[in-house]
Chains A and B, each alone.
Chain A
Amino acid sequence: MADSDVVIDVIKLRKYFDVKKGFLESLTSKEQMYVHAVDDIDFQIKKGKILGMVGESGCGKTTAGRMLVRLENPTSGQILLNGDDIVKKKGAELKLFRRKVQMVFQDPYESLNPRFTVFDTVAEPLIVHGVGESYEEREDMVAKALEYAELKPASEYMPRYPHELSGGQRQRVAIARTLALRPEFIVADEPVSMLDVSIRAGIMNLMLSLKDRYKIPFMFVTHDVSVSRYMSDDIAVMYLGNIVEYGPAEEVIMNPYHPYMNALLSAVPVPDPKFKRGRTQIKGDLPNAINIPTGCPFHPRCLYAKDICREKKPEIREVKGTHKAQCHFAGELNFDILNEEPTANTAPQASAP
């Protein structure tokens, strides 16, 4: 077995969704089509670490996160929580597992019940799982959870309803709800993308301090590479259901091996007007996840694609230390994306219409 620090160990995890056919189609074609949401991915999350899952919409990052908390059932593969496979769990065992993992959702305006007070919301998981002997004991646990989420004084927030809270406070309540059960693992799915910029940083810092203080491992799903860099110890980059690059966050950001990650990084705007980027090194649009290209799934958009890429799907392999990439030419390509391109004056030229 792997070392004892590993909390989550994912092995060959796969999720295919059936494509629903219309009545006529079901008569004419026999073949069942699948959406390849997650296609045999492997990763690990260690105690007190955050794994950042990044990728564009539709790449499978959210599905991967939802499988880890069993909101989706995997098609195949294993998810080990402290060495214990959770994929086959049912009934009482599954319920016990649900106590150990929690999820923070994207939109705090949708994920809180508008008719529940903050106390009801945070106490509900305690009641569901029969934690706490008495009302007083639960009240105490709720108060603690709220204080962990930096909603102080807790007694002031407990009787409030979601509509009385700002977006940032709502997300803190959602985080407090996950903390009430003292989980072993938390999945956060785009927890800051709906929040205003000035509040976003506060929620990110809260999650970082929870990680540091209580050693709770997180999986942080986001489309924003800059946010992921700030939050994560490790980053996994997904493209069409595959993890195409995986490694320590700074390494992946500073020295990407996969052409897709390179393209993604070169497209991220930088909050500095002096910095001028070159053109993004990618062509075409994202193919749909039903007809995945043969060979390397990225080859139709890759500027470096060779014959082998069209024929053979590359394995994800270690290039340098724990930094892995799923590319035949990983480590051999020279992107030079961090070199600033000297551009002339950016002022527009006035022209006669």
Chain B
Amino acid sequence: MAMLEVNNLKVHYKILKGVVHGVDGVSFKLERGSTLGLVGESGCGKSTMAYAITRLLAANAEIVEGNIVFEGKVIAGSEEERALPKRKRAKYIEQTMRDIRWKEISMIFQSAMNAFNPVYKVGDQIGEAILAHEDVTKDEARKKVKRLFELVGLDVSRIDGYPHEYSGGMRQRAMIAMALACNPKLIIADEPTTALDVIMQDRVLAEIRDLQRRLGMAMIIITHDISVVAEVAEKIGVMYAGMLFEYGDIGAVFNRPSNPYSIGLMASFPSIKGEKKQLYSIPGSPPDLANPPPGCRFHPRCKYAKDICKEKMPEMIEVEPNHWSACHFALEIFNTQLAAAARRG
């Protein structure tokens, strides 16, 4: 049994003008100890996914369909929850998640700059998370914080420092230490390195990879940068306009991308390795999710779009074992990629 199962999840945001289809029918499974990279552009629903799993969605968001199963327990979208009137749901979420949040699933937030309370010492804030979830004394919690500092490569003498005394990279490490505080089984990292310089990003990524391997946690890393995913993940999910467009083993998706959107995304990334290639840009811009286009959501920007794409939403097609693509022509594209790969040798 997979550790985390997301089944046909739909999260909608209510706004004045109507409904924003933030996440619209996403399914995937995550095994123990493995890493999934979710990539996509801003507004594609990748962060909404993270907040849905941790049940930290904004007040105007609602899980309208589908469910999330963690370790055999339905943590979102259960029958029981749906039966409740809306005003009682917040309390219900609080009760189901109390033992799961941080102890089982923890999160590394995007802006470590703002994730800490500026008037409390960093060590105390991490200690507080431990005290809230584990039956330990203050001294034991502090000892554990020290161990965590060592684990993520922070100077233990800075334990009584305030957030403003930390550099960006240090704060990000402290954030990771906090996420690890209760030995979670799953860590969700939302753009963990976006605000960092490249050398610091490299160190933090190495740290994350190393810790994950040592402690055997599963991880979902959410980013717009496919090169970051290429470095840390084993599975990749490419999201566009609230939907999963391609999903599979990292090598398969990178070598034989079988969806026009992922192909476009990969062709728009410059690299410092290999030949200097002409970059391709996808025409147009992502759709307004309050008013998504009919049929395939990518069709207005897709150069292969045919009539069927305007009418019918494509299903996920398994083009090879452990590699799916949501495109009417996924198999054709896959075969062309295969032929191209054979030519490359």
Contacts and interface: CB of A to CB of B under 8 A. Distances in A.
Contacts of B272: 225-226, 229, 253, 265, 268, 270
Interface string A252-280: 01000000000111111111111101011
B183 A353 contact: yes
B238 to A, nearest CB: 11
B281 A198 contact: yes
Interface in B144-199: 167, 169, 183, 185, 197-199
Given A230-B270, A270-B273, A353-B215, A223 B281 contact: no
A113 B251 CA distance: 45
A350 B33 contact: yes
A124 B42 CA distance: 31
A200 B270 CA distance: 10
Interface string B209-244: 000111110000000111110110010000000000
Contact of A269 (B41, B169, B228, B280): B228
A56 interface: yes
A205 interface: yes
B251 A346 contact: no
Contacts of B201: 267, 269
Contacts of A196: 41-42, 224, 285-286
Interface string B59-79: 000000000000000000000
A168 B215 contact: no
A134 to B, nearest CB: 35
Contacts of A166: 285
Interface string B248-269: 0011001000000000111111
A267 B228 CA distance: 11
A285 B169 contact: yes
Given A346-B234, A353-B215, A269 B281 contact: no
Contacts of A197: 41, 224-226, 265, 268-269
B65 to A, nearest CB: 27
Contact of B281 (A56, A205, A282): A205
Contacts of A230: 270, 276, 279
Contacts of A198: 41, 264-265, 268, 281-282, 286
A272 B253 CA distance: 10
B206 interface: yes
A57 B265 CA distance: 27
Contact of B205 (A229, A269, A273, A286): A269
Interface string A326-352: 000000000000100000001111111
Nearest to A253: B272
A18 interface: no
A263 B199 contact: yes
A304 B233 CA distance: 33
Contacts of B169: 285
A346 to B, nearest CB: 7
A271 B185 CA distance: 28
B106 to A, nearest CB: 14
A229 B270 contact: yes
A225 B198 contact: yes
A294 to B, nearest CB: 22
A267 B213 contact: no
Contacts of B212: 348
B137 interface: no
Contact of B197 (A168, A223, A269, A347): A223
Contact of B266 (A226, A271, A348): A271
Nearest to B185: A353
A204 B105 CA distance: 40
A254 B35 CA distance: 31
Interface string A173-201: 00000000000000000000000111111
A350 B32 contact: yes
B34 interface: yes
Contacts of B250: 273
A270 B285 contact: no
A284 to B, nearest CB: 10
A282 B280 CA distance: 34
Interface string B24-43: 00000000111100000110
Contacts of B42: 196
A197 B226 CA distance: 10
A338 B215 CA distance: 31
Contact of A271 (B34, B215, B224, B230): B230
A348 B187 CA distance: 14
A264 B231 CA distance: 16
Given A199-B281, A349-B216, A350-B32, A271 B199 contact: no
Contacts of A272: 227, 230, 254, 271, 273
A201 B183 CA distance: 41
A270 B226 CA distance: 9
A237 to B, nearest CB: 12
Contacts of A286: 197
A276 to B, nearest CB: 8
B203 interface: yes
Contacts of B332: none
B279 A201 contact: yes
Contacts of B227: 226, 268-272
Contacts of A169: 285
A271 B269 contact: yes
B140 interface: no
A159 interface: no
A128 B250 CA distance: 54
Contact of B279 (A204, A265, A277): A204
Contacts of A200: 268, 281
Contact of A268 (B185, B198, B279): B198
Contacts of B183: 353
Nearest to A285: B167
A280 B271 contact: no
Contacts of A51: none
16 contacts: A196-B41, A197-B225, A197-B268, A199-B281, A199-B282, A200-B281, A201-B280, A204-B270, A268-B202, A269-B202, A269-B231, A271-B266, A271-B271, A280-B199, A280-B203, A350-B216
Closest 3 CB pairs of A and B: A202-B281, A201-B281, A267-B202
